[in-house]
């Protein structure tokens, strides 16, 4: 098992067959080519040839003298493919995407480097970001080379690793190693992506102001069509719009207590599929979308997909105890992650979950019920 398991998102998430196919076509998912309008469209395929862009960079950077073979480990719904390259000096990990700009992987490399500087949790060392050529309708794309970490099957789920990871994540959030970077502000040195959702990491002096911008961005695209399909919600879904505006208006009071919260380096997309463990180093985190924010935010996405045990949370809170208002803030941060899922996949069930969360967060007053 290598780095980067898939979330298993795909059909059945509210997309029609045609829209799902369009998403896959846009990302270049498939084998040597994809059928578009009845025609097999070629696309870049890795090879061992010296002029292959990935092989060329491995040799140029002297990461190896000989690449013996490569193996596809995973293919994710967003077009990312992850591969293991076997060389004369061991293995390398390569993530590639046939349509993403190299800035996307550069931002990920910055995230990984930032996490490594805290010396709190193991993450793969980024080695190079390169470009892939345009082939047919796909491209240009990009790739990221990192050190290869041999993950144990289901290693992240083992009780001992869960407890260790909980403590390590808390130590990451509490770290002072990057104080000279954030300088008490919220944001990050580069913008990045949460799945396919752009994250504006412009520095803000207030966490409430920063998170308000994030929530507003999610709410604003609920009624907009994406490049691969229809808008997540119809324009006449007025109940959703009304509740979303109430949540936005009440964010300062909902996030009360965070006015002076220390900016923590967040992983940014910490679901169980972005964790692993090696036999030597223990827990591993990868695929980050880092920024400096409220430490509690990283905990919210864990409830969406499960996989984190009570031992994890006990170990985390032994380092960073829960603060007053924790449960209310978790509902707000969980709503943000469900809004992101809604905007990505348009799943009616996720819409209903968002609606219920908003009703829980801003319950109707007696006057509104009349």
pLDDT tens digits for 224-263?
A: 887 556 789 998 899 999 999 999 999 999 999 898 899 9
Q: What is the mean pLDDT of residues 268-295?
A: 96
Rounded-to-integer distance, Cα 55 and Cα 206, Å = 45
Asked if residue 267 lies in contact with residue 285, where contact means CB atoms within 8 angstroms, the answer is yes
| Percent of the chain topping pLDDT 90 | 77
**Adjacent-strand bridge partners of 145:** 94, 128
What is the CB neighbour count within 10 angstroms for residue 200?
A: 13
pLDDT class of 27 with cuts at 50, 70, 90: very low
For residue 239, give both structure tokens: 């109940």
Helix axes of 207-220 and 326-345: crossing angle, nearest 10 degrees: 30
Asked if residue 46 lies in contact with residue 145, where contact means CB atoms within 8 angstroms, the answer is no
Look at residues 314, 341, 234 and name the one whose alpha carbon lies nearest to residue 9: 341
The DSSP letter of residue 155 is: G
Integer-rounded Cα Rg, in Å, for the chain is 21
Q: In the block, which residue shows the tokens 């105890």?
A: 321
Contacts of residue 141, Cβ cutoff 8 Å, sequence gap at least 6: 28, 44, 96, 97, 98, 99, 100, 131, 132, 133, 134
The DSSP letter of residue 48 is: S
The pLDDT mean for the chain works out to 89
pLDDT class of 285 with cuts at 50, 70, 90: very high
For residue 362, give both structure tokens: 């801003």
The DSSP letter of residue 273 is: G
For residue 317, give both structure tokens: 């809170």
pLDDT class of 369 with cuts at 50, 70, 90: very low
| Percent of the chain topping pLDDT 70 | 86
**Adjacent-strand bridge partners of 135:** 138
pLDDT of residue 293: 98
Rounded-to-integer distance, Cα 113 and Cα 126, Å = 7
pLDDT class of 5 with cuts at 50, 70, 90: very low
pLDDT of residue 15: 52
Rounded-to-integer distance, Cα 190 and Cα 270, Å = 19
User: Active site includes 269?
Assistant: yes
* Residue bearing the bigger pLDDT, 141 or 40: 141
Asked if residue 329 lies in contact with residue 218, where contact means CB atoms within 8 angstroms, the answer is no
Look at residues 215, 251, 240, 266 and name the one whose alpha carbon lies nearest to residue 328: 251
pLDDT of residue 159: 87
Cis (ω within 30 of 0) for the bond into 57? no
pLDDT class of 76 with cuts at 50, 70, 90: confident
Look at residues 13, 41, 21, 16 and name the one whose alpha carbon lies nearest to residue 98: 41
pLDDT tens digits for 308-341?
A: 999 999 999 999 999 999 999 999 999 999 999 9
pLDDT of residue 44: 95
pLDDT tens digits for 146-203?
A: 999 999 998 999 989 999 999 999 999 999 999 999 999 999 999 999 988 999 999 9
Q: Catalytic residue among 269, 287, 298, 347, which?
A: 269
pLDDT class of 87 with cuts at 50, 70, 90: very high
Note the residue count of the chain: 370
Rounded-to-integer distance, Cα 232 and Cα 15, Å = 9
């Amino acid at each position: 098992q290598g780095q980067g398991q898939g979330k298993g998102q795909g059909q059945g998430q509210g997309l029609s067959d045609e829209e799902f196919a369009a998403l896959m076509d846009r990302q270049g998912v498939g084998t040597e080519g994809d059928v578009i309008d009845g025609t097999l469209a070629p696309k870049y395929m890795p090879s061992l040839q010296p002029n292959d862009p990935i092989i060329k960079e491995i040799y140029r950077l002297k990461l190896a003298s000989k690449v013996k073979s490569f193996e596809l480990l995973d293919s994710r719904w967003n077009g990312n493919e992850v591969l293991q390259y076997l060389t004369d000096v061991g293995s390398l990990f390569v993530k590639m995407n046939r349509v993403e700009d190299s800035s996307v992987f550069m931002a990920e490399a910055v995230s990984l480097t930032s996490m490594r500087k805290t010396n709190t949790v193991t993450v793969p060392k980024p080695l190079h970001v390169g470009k892939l050529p345009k082939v047919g309708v796909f491209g240009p794309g990009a790739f990221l080379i990192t050190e290869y970490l041999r993950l144990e099957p289901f290693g992240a789920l083992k009780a001992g690793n869960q407890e260790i990871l909980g403590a390590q994540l808390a130590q990451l959030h509490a770290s002072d190693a990057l104080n000279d970077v954030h300088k008490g502000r919220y944001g990050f040195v580069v913008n990045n992506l949460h799945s396919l959702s752009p994250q504006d990491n412009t520095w803000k002096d207030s966490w409430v102001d920063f998170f308000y911008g994030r929530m507003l961005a999610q709410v604003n695209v609920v009624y907009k069509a994406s490049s691969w399909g229809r808008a997540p919600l119809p324009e006449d879904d007025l109940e959703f719009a009304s509740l979303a505006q109430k949540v936005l208006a009440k964010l300062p009071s909902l996030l009360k207590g965070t006015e002076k919260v220390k900016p923590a380096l967040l992983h940014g997309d910490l679901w169980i599929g972005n964790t692993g463990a090696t036999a030597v180093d223990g827990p591993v985190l990868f695929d980050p979308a880092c920024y400096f924010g409220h430490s509690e935010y990283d905990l919210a996405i864990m409830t969406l997909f499960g996989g984190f045990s009570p031992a994890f949370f006990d170990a985390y809170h032994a380092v960073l105890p829960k603060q007053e208002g924790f449960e209310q803030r978790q509902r707000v941060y969980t709503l943000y992650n469900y809004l992101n899922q809604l905007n990505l996949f348009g799943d009616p069930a996720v819409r209903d979950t968002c609606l219920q969360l908003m009703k829980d967060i801003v319950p109707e007053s007696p006057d509104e019920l009349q």
